[in-house]
Amino acid sequence: MKKDNSVARRKAASKLVDGLRGIFIFLFSISGIINLLALTGSFYMMQIYDRAIPSQSIPTLAGLSILAIGLYVFQGVFETLRSQILVRVGAGVDRKLAPLAHKVAIDMPRFGFTPAESLERGRDVDTVRSFLGSQGPMALFDLPWLPLYLIFVYALHPYLGALVTAGAFVLSMLAIANEIMTRKLAGVTHQATIARNVIAESNARNAEVMRAMGFAGRAVDRFVDANKQHLELQTRSNDLSGTMGAVSRILRMILQSATLGLGAYLTIQGQMSGGSIIACSIASSRALAPVDMAIANWKNVVNARNAWSRIIDTMVALAAERKPMDLPLAKRALRVDKLTVAAPATGRVLLSEVSFELKAGQALGVIGSSGGGKTTLVRALTGIWASLRGSVRLDEAELNQWPEASLSSMIGYLPQDVALLDGTIAENIARLDPKANPENVVEAARAAGVHELIVHMSDGYQTQVGTQGETLSAGQRQRIGLARALYGNPFVVVMDEPNSNLDAEGELALTAAINGIKQRGGIAIVVAHRPSALVAVDLVAVVQQGRMVAFGGKEDILGQGQKPVAANKSSPAPAEASTALTAVAKPASRTGSAPLAPRTAPQLVVG
């Protein structure tokens, strides 16, 4: 398994850099030219001190200066070109990876990750892009050319070459020590950042509740504790980075002075010229500059490397997703066969051995005590949560055999907590389809009984709903959410507590909508506590303690003359839950793992 994951990671990494290899080879070549041109100052000073000054020739001085200026201009052009190419490579990486990272971020919450954790995938792309536009990559491109300067210094005098080589070795050891000490600290700091962001996101989401009940102060205290740990780790990380950077700069200055001193001694001994002293000082400084810069930017290097590793995990997860072929749209039946579902966040089994079948034109009401498994059933029926065992089939094909686009046209979903997207009412009803036919939008609104309400608003269907639909009341959001579920006349419409915020008029519209689904040959599934939501259903299922304990006609189940018909009599509770969860890969940690994976092995809950 570990070997397979390693192979998958290599393939994903190779795919990511496939179009960049040629660019990086070109950048490496440009870096070679830049470093060769960087010797201009050393040669210029040698010629000035050893030729122009002894000969007192103004034309020689002018010629050397013009030549040096020209070479400096070329060096500046190549450095500008390298910088601009790296910035554009970063932008290209962002364009390629940001949509993929966002796709995974959208999918992660249903596998038990918090929104703050999910958004880290997008921040990883930002980290890589920012790094490519910084000084870090330039230092890394310049490092391989360090021997060029060492050869030049050795050519001036072997003693000077040995001194500069020793200095480069010491600084390289310092860089390796910096890497060892920052590697683990960077991961822990990243975890602390996520923990702080999770609390901040939770506080922002529940701001109204905290304000109304006066515990915002305690929420802030929670954030302060998390932020304190985050700051302590950040301080340690910055202290380490700053200390290493300061030590490397001091060593570099000491080495530069030592080079001048040794050069002066050798000049006094008549073993080299005065111009060579200045040339050696410039060359040695330039030779060690990339090492110094790499140490100073190593924190960014480590952060970018860790972000790149998580991006590769994201690509592995996406590559592992099946890409089903198109099937004819379902229109006959929905069948649930021995369905067992575990919570992705904990692995705890919440629903066991549920079986039933619905034909086109039927409506099912699902009732039961709170926490009994009704919402878990809804999440499994809509494909939000994968089944641990068993299956959900549309016209005998399991949900995972359908492409996402096909499922979106066959399944409508009204969640318990209706969250609308920031946009217009029309965009929300049309599920953000930019080519949506206005007639279909109005048809869905009429089916939900909300058309008159919408057109009486000042901007009608172009009314902006705001973030999470904040400009609308809870009842309005629920009715527009119902219209969104009905858009395109999906074959199966699943509604979780669809009347929790509705008034009498809204409940009548809900009943009419359920009847409309039945009349057009669709299937409606309604989870409800209030009986008014079950007026139009034909069948009722009772879900309690993670099992469906009864299934049958509405009158039978609700006790109007007959006893309930027990469901799953022959399906005993499983002895233990399988650990083979339907996920891409089990994560080793919350930061370095494939995102589409449950976090722990399931624990059986016997209903």
Instruction: State residue 31's pLDDT score.
Output: 92
pTM: 0.70
Mean of per-residue pLDDT scores for the chain: 82
Instruction: State residue 430's pLDDT score.
Output: 92
Instruction: State residue 82's pLDDT score.
Output: 92
The 10s digit of each residue's pLDDT in 386-441 is: 888 999 999 988 888 888 878 888 999 999 888 888 889 999 999 988 888 999 99
Instruction: State residue 483's pLDDT score.
Output: 94
Share of the chain above pLDDT 70, in %: 88
| Closest residue by Cα to residue 210 from 199, 195, 225 | 199
Instruction: State residue 512's pLDDT score.
Output: 93
The 10s digit of each residue's pLDDT in 348-372 is: 899 999 999 999 999 999 998 888 8
Residue type, 166: A
Going by pLDDT thresholds of 50, 70 and 90, the confidence category of residue 591 is very low
The 10s digit of each residue's pLDDT in 48-85 is: 888 888 888 898 989 989 999 999 999 999 999 999 99
The 10s digit of each residue's pLDDT in 526-580 is: 998 878 888 899 999 999 998 999 999 888 887 643 344 444 433 333 333 332 2
pLDDT for residue 601 is more than 50: no
CB-facing half-sphere around the CA of 222: CA atoms within 13 A: 16
The 10s digit of each residue's pLDDT in 160-181 is: 889 988 988 888 888 788 778 8
Map out the domains of the chain as residue ranges. Answer: 2-320, 403-537
Instruction: State residue 418's pLDDT score.
Output: 87
Helices assigned H by DSSP within 436-529: 438-447, 451-455, 474-486, 504-519
Whether 2-320 shares its CATH topology with 403-537 is answered no
Please report, for residues 86, 234, 538, the alpha-carbon distance to residue 22 in angstroms, rounded to integers and kept in the order given. Answer: 13, 37, 65
Instruction: State residue 292's pLDDT score.
Output: 79
Helices assigned H by DSSP within 269-297: 274-296
Interacting residues of 549 by C-beta distance below 8 A, sequence separation 6+: 542, 543, 564, 566, 567
Strands (E), 411-564: 411-414, 492-496, 523-527, 539-544, 547-553
The answer regarding whether domain 2-320 maps to CATH 1.20.1560.10 reads: yes
Mean pLDDT of all residues in 577-598 = 33
| Closest residue by Cα to residue 144 from 44, 49, 29 | 29
Going by pLDDT thresholds of 50, 70 and 90, the confidence category of residue 606 is very low
The answer regarding whether domain 403-537 maps to CATH 3.40.50.300 reads: yes
The 10s digit of each residue's pLDDT in 189-204 is: 888 888 888 888 788 8
Instruction: State residue 499's pLDDT score.
Output: 87
The 10s digit of each residue's pLDDT in 290-336 is: 887 887 777 788 888 888 888 888 777 776 666 777 888 888 999 99
The structure tokens 């985050």 sit at 230
Instruction: State residue 581's pLDDT score.
Output: 24
